């Protein structure tokens, strides 16, 4: 799929006080702001029109816009984040989605769904069951996707320690290729794809992001870079060290369609 648009949101002054399990220390706000600007520049250079939304100071994690929506060119789905303090972020995103998409669906009831648990590969959506996404949330999304002729498959990651979201550990690079944390490499769901398996010590780098002709890769993971370049992918390194401290990665920072 060729992307033409992206939504991002500036990190607020409250960003260092968000939710995290990473135990890597508090992020440096000025550095996080600079990294976000560079990230948006990279999306623009890849050919996307980037709309950057203002910071939401009441929601420190709001910079991670991918968690609050799933977007396609002709529709969007507003999620219901699994972390209670993040629920308001989704409602702040609703009017934005209505500006860009003719059809906007919402996950509701007792369902929980984080966009970080949703991995699309061509016409298939892999829906991660995690501490943030429950079965009801995944089933509601699957029903919406089925309406648009997308197939979906559940992947339960709840027993995998240290993996917050599905896309923390697997990302589709196009060309029938999956980039995988080794702990997911043997899953039957992915057996039809060509596998690029990152070293376990570079597991964070499984969250790379293919945007048109470029694979954006977090800086500091040389073996993953070599793996991708050997496979023929054009790589661009981006420093997201401050977002890693808050359980975030490259895919989390934008909505793309």
CATH at residue 68: 3.75.10.10
170 within 8 A of 206, measured Cβ to Cβ: yes
Over residues 102-152, the pLDDT tens digits come to 999 999 999 999 999 999 999 999 999 999 999 999 999 999 999 999 999
| Residue of 40, 119, 165, 208 marked active site | 165
* 208 catalytic residue (yes or no): no
Mean pLDDT for 66-82 is: 98
The reply to whether 119 belongs to the active site is no
Identify which of 33, 21, 11, 43 has the alpha carbon closest to the alpha carbon of residue 257.
Answer: 43
Question: How much is the pTM?
Answer: 0.96
- 173, 195 contact by CB (below 8 A): no
Confidence (pLDDT) at 1: 78
Range of the domain at 101: 5-256
pLDDT band, residue 227 (cuts 50/70/90): very high
Q: Alpha-carbon distance 97 to 82, whole Å?
A: 20
Residue 9's CB is within 10 A of a number of other CB atoms, namely 25
Question: pLDDT averaged over the chain?
Answer: 97
Tokens, residue 84:
């209670």
Q: State the distance between the two ends of the chain, measured CA to CA, in whole angstroms.
A: 8
Is the pLDDT score of 47 beyond 90?
yes
| Average pLDDT of span 87-114 | 97
Compute how many other C-beta atoms are within 10 angstroms of the C-beta atom of residue 41. Answer: 12
Question: Quick one: pLDDT at residue 46?
Answer: 98
Q: pLDDT tens, 231-257? A: 999 999 999 999 999 999 999 999 999
Task: Provide the domain count of the chain.
Answer: 1
Closest CA to 67 of 30, 24, 19: 19
Query: Is the pLDDT reported for residue 64 higher than 90?
Result: yes
pLDDT computed for residue 10 by the predictor: 98
Q: Please say if the pLDDT value at position 75 is more than 90.
A: yes
**Distance of CA 158 to CAs 23, 40, 93, 138, 179, Å?**
20, 32, 27, 14, 20
Query: How much is the average pLDDT of 13-42?
Result: 96
pLDDT of residue 88: 96
């Amino acid at each position: 799929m060729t992307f033409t648009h992206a939504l991002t949101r500036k990190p607020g002054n409250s960003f260092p006080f968000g939710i995290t399990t990473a135990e890597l220390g508090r992020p440096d706000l000025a550095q996080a702001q600079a990294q976000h600007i560079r990230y948006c520049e990279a999306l623009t250079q890849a050919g996307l029109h980037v709309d950057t939304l203002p910071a939401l100071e009441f929601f420190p994690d709001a910079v991670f816009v991918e968690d609050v929506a799933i977007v396609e060119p002709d529709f969007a789905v507003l999620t219901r984040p699994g972390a209670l303090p993040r629920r308001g972020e989704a409602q702040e995103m609703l009017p934005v989605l209505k500006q860009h998409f003719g059809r906007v669906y919402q996950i509701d009831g007792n369902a929980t769904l984080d966009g970080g648990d949703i991995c699309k590969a061509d016409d298939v959506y892999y829906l991660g069951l995690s501490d943030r996404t429950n079965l009801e949330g995944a089933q509601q999304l699957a029903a919406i996707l089925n309406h648009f002729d997308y197939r979906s498959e559940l992947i339960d990651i709840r027993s995998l320690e240290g993996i917050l979201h599905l896309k923390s550990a697997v990302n589709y690079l196009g060309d029938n290729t999956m980039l995988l944390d080794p702990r997911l490499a043997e899953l039957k769901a992915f057996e039809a794809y060509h596998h690029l398996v990152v070293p376990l010590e570079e597991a964070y780098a499984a969250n790379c992001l293919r945007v048109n002709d470029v694979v954006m890769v977090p800086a500091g993971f040389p073996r993953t870079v070599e793996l991708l370049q050997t496979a023929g992918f054009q790589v661009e390194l981006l420093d997201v060290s401050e977002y890693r401290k808050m359980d975030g990665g490259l895919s989390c920072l934008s909505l793309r369609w």
